[in-house]
Structure 1
Amino acid sequence: MQRSLRATVLLLIGGLALTACGSGSTDKPAAGGKVTITVTGQPPKTQSVERKLFDQDVAEFEASHPDIHIEPHEGFMDPKTFSAKLAGGQLEDVYYVYFTDPATIIARRQAADITDQVKDLPVLKQLQQPLIDIFKDRNGRIYGLPTANYSMGLLYNRALFTKAGLDPDQPPATWDEVRADAKKIAALGGDTVGFADLSKNNQGGWHLVTWTYAMGSQVARQDGDKWVADFNNDKVKGALRLLHDMRWTDNTMGAKQLLEATDVQQMMGSGKLGMYLAAPDNVPVLVKQFNGRYEDYGVAAMPGGQGTLLGGEGYMVNPKASPDKIKAGLAWIQWKYLNPDRIETRIKQYLAEQQPIGLPAIPTPDIWTGDVKAKQNALKAQYANVPAKNFQSYLDGNGTLRGNLEPPNAQQIYAVLDGVMQAVLTNKDANVDQLLTDAEGKVNSALAQVK
């Protein structure tokens, strides 16, 4: 649903030769022997630190790769305009994608096959294999590279946990514990809320999908060549009844509903909310935008031990790019986003800008395995300026959870499921069985549009 914080891990390929596959383009190198490539991913000027570091990277890359000129473009992925940009020759040579997009892009042949160029990269073996698989077709050919990922967990207020007599170093690991802890936090009185959830602007549907995965269910499954809804079951009904009971029986979710992300962030930042479902990238938002303190927050793995929503991003190459542009584009992706040798450099850059070190995925993404992962963790611990122990249960728990991507045609599905969340949280007499049955038909209509 939301883009994760920008990945900043880099891969130095030095003099690695990248042999290019054929493409439909016959673009020639620019004057002076330079190849110019357009790339997405430049942060907007409103994100001053991220923009500054991105532009510094462009300058450094060009200095070390004098035969390549980078023309950065602001922005990331807009599925509504993607195909039109490609058809009109306006799509960048190197473009950003959410994890939900590669399968469709590959099926439509809207990305270059880069298998032969990257198959021998040693670092490929250090990336998490499920993330690489997102960019493969059914024959195992590779069309892109992952550069960042996140998974949803339970963000909680350590200060309120302590005040309610709970151990902030032992966050709830089951949904029964979540419910019990929410009662104790709400019992503090005033306008303190134990647990909150989202229910509008497609964010409610996004969170219901998260609940679905957390209960060990799926939202949709493939049936032959088509997708069908797969959430009208006892597991998802159990999640909705839990939310209903927390809202109406326990009164731990507060009277104000129809919330979105900024609402719960403001509640958490003001010290009035105990828990909500989120990824760790919410923590800097709480501090920078809502006057929170890093030491007051923790993130735990998704309770229940079943699964969670996995998201992330990567980069693919325009299928119309010339061999020289493909080679240059891959050099940029690997140098900028997948460089173990520059992990420490990136951490020091963030320290110099007074940015947090010690949070999961910030400023370097958790996409690695093996030696690179160990190196990254050690460097984060060495330079940590926020209490990294507050997020250890999130890191430990995610190792055993099943990560699930967003469903196809996600936004239409979220719009449908918004209504389910709204009904449960605003109508004490909501009929969960009927809500899911009605939603199933509408989601099947949305899935029927998936090609």
Structure 2
Amino acid sequence: MKSVKPRRLGSKVVALGLVTAASVAMLSACSSDNGGSSDGKVNLVVAPVLPGATEDALKTLATRVKEFEKKNPDIHVKAIEYQWTASTFAAELAGGTLPDVFNVPFTDSKTLANNGQLADITTPFKQTSTADKWNKTVLNVATGDNGKVYGIPWGPYAMALSYNRDIFKQAGLDPDKPPTTLDEIQADAKTISEKVPGVAGYMQMTKDSTGGWNLATATQALGGRLETTGSDGKVTVKTDNDQTKQALSWLQKMRWQDNSMGSNFLWDWSGINQGFASGKIAMYMSGSDVIGSLMQANGFDQSKYGVTTFPVDSSNSKAGILSGGNVDVVNVKDTPEQIAAAVKWIDFYRTQPQVNESDAVTLAKSNQAGKQAVNAPTLPLFDKATWQQYQTWIKPYANIPADNIKPFNDGIFSQTIVPEPPAHTQDLYAALDAVVQAVLTDKNADVDTLLKGVDTKVQALIDADAKK
């Protein structure tokens, strides 16, 4: 989800926090023209930080630029502050003002690739040391329908089910055997609400666009899609579908039949984290890396934390788990020399810290000293062997019990990753908030009418874009 700033910014801080400090000059956003220079070097303009980046982040970036140029003396890098937006991308591409390297969200990378708006980096990508190690479900978001690679992902997360192990024990449930289906979540939530008074067995977010985000997760886990893209590129909103209705019916049963969702039905991302950390909620859906925020912002005791994969319907071939993250991509107008240099930069800046022992240990030590999550479960970038090697490096500094996160780590490699809805994602999520709230506060909520209303409202926004 794009609007959940604490999680996304957390990923960026981690990526930038792997190095020491220096200074950097930020330039206006523009590509490096033809990529050549009088001294024979390849010029690159890269955009790894957002506008308004902290001084520490800029100093860290400058150090990384110097390290890269030392290792690659034939490449000159200029770093800028830049934020990609769908509304300005086409004009920037046409006007030649895009950087050579910039990042786009998981939501948009495949569409841009299929539209021919990103550089094909397949050849230089295959020359990187990690090319054959990638988690294919992650790399897929940067792969076009033609099988070619158009970007390098970083900072991925998967939606997951977080649960309080202590509350499970109080309810007579085994915290080492968390629920693996929606029916099991419902049954465990009912048991908890009956045996541990005052605790909501299960809850989902409902406001500030998070209700739609969670509903999108449940829909896709059941094999549905809130939006579809036709062969002509036209996006059609279809929240009025069987899987979304099934997800809402599931919530209705827990709320009105089982009474296992407590009495507060207005939760945003930070609010539900606090509710969980204070012991008012036993299970909830969120990003797999949320323990980092729970520890840092809510003072949650990580020994009580449990996390598992959110259930996916194994009988539906379209079912998958919603994920998010970023993809570093290259300007489609770049020369072959620039494209090759750009891949070297992305590999150096984003990828190598995940496979380099020295950088991994440095970050782990820093997080441990700052009482931040060292081994928070995330969506693995690479194959299981590479992930296991990384876990070995950080194990001496890990501060989350391995058994507590084992259900997620064991299950995530077998789940299919599905990106977020592609068009007007935040408007769609915001519109669906009201539907989720209605289901939880009105026993007779007319789901069909509510979903049709969302379809009409968001489709109008998408159609208006097409007329511009």
Q: What is the distance in 1 between the residues matched to 2:197 and 2:53?
A: 36
Of 130, 134, 149, the match for 1:127: 134
Distance 1:48 1:299, change over 3 A: farther
Q: Deviations over 1:371-403 (max 9, x none)?
A: 423423433445423212211111222233332
Structure 1 gaps of 5+ residues are 10-22
Residue 267 of structure 2 is aligned to residue 259 of structure 1: yes
Letter in 2 for 1:313: N
RMSD: 3.2
User: How far is 1:155 from its partner?
Assistant: 0.9
1:332 aligned partner: 345
Q: What is the distance in 1 between the residues matched to 2:308 and 2:271?
A: 21
User: How far is 1:56 from its partner?
Assistant: 4.4
Residue 189 of structure 2 is aligned to residue 182 of structure 1: yes
Of 96, 104, 120, the match for 1:97: 104
Distance 1:344 1:119, change over 3 A: closer
In the TM superposition, 1:118-157 aligns within 5 A as: 118-121=125-128, 123-157=130-164
Residue 298 of structure 2 is aligned to residue 290 of structure 1: yes
User: How far is 1:275 from its partner?
Assistant: 1.2
1:14 aligned partner: none
User: How far is 1:357 from its partner?
Assistant: 2.5
SS at match of 2:322: strand
Residue 407 of structure 2 is aligned to residue 393 of structure 1: yes
Q: What is the distance in 1 between the residues matched to 2:456 and 2:128?
A: 46
Displaced runs of 4 or more, over 6 A = 43-52
Letter in 2 for 1:335: F
SS at match of 2:80: strand
SS at match of 1:192: coil
Q: Kindly indicate whether the alpha-carbon contact (under 8 Å) linking 1:95 and 1:315 is maintained by their aligned counterparts in 2.
A: yes
2:308 aligned partner: 300
SS at match of 2:251: helix
SS at match of 1:193: coil
Letter in 2 for 1:346: D
2:24 aligned partner: none
Q: What is the distance in 2 between the residues matched to 1:107 and 1:449?
A: 22
In the TM superposition, 1:23-42 aligns within 5 A as: 25-29=33-37, 34-42=41-49
In the TM superposition, 1:360-379 aligns within 5 A as: 360-361=377-378, 366-369=380-383, 371-379=385-393
Count of residue pairs the alignment pairs up: 434
Of 206, 213, 218, the match for 1:206: 213
Q: Kindly indicate whether the alpha-carbon contact (under 8 Å) linking 1:24 and 1:319 is maintained by their aligned counterparts in 2.
A: no
Residue 454 of structure 2 is aligned to residue 439 of structure 1: yes
Q: What is the distance in 2 between the residues matched to 1:146 and 1:441?
A: 33
User: How far is 1:94 from its partner?
Assistant: 0.7
SS at match of 1:195: coil
Of 387, 404, 414, the match for 2:418: 404
Identity fraction in percent: 35
SS at match of 1:209: helix
Residue 281 of structure 2 is aligned to residue 273 of structure 1: yes
Distance 1:170 1:46, change over 3 A: farther
User: How far is 1:33 from its partner?
Assistant: 5.1
Letter in 2 for 1:421: V
TM-score (norm 2): 0.81
Distance 1:120 1:234, change over 3 A: same
Distance 1:76 1:160, change over 3 A: farther
Q: Deviations over 1:182-204 (max 9, x none)?
A: 23433466653222212222221
Structure 2 gaps of 5+ residues are 17-30, 315-319
SS at match of 2:283: strand
Q: Kindly indicate whether the alpha-carbon contact (under 8 Å) linking 1:24 and 1:322 is maintained by their aligned counterparts in 2.
A: no
Q: Kindly indicate whether the alpha-carbon contact (under 8 Å) linking 1:171 and 1:300 is maintained by their aligned counterparts in 2.
A: yes
TM-score (norm 1): 0.84
Q: Kindly indicate whether the alpha-carbon contact (under 8 Å) linking 1:212 and 1:231 is maintained by their aligned counterparts in 2.
A: no
1:421 aligned partner: 436
Q: Deviations over 1:257-296 (max 9, x none)?
A: 2321011011122222211111222111011011112212
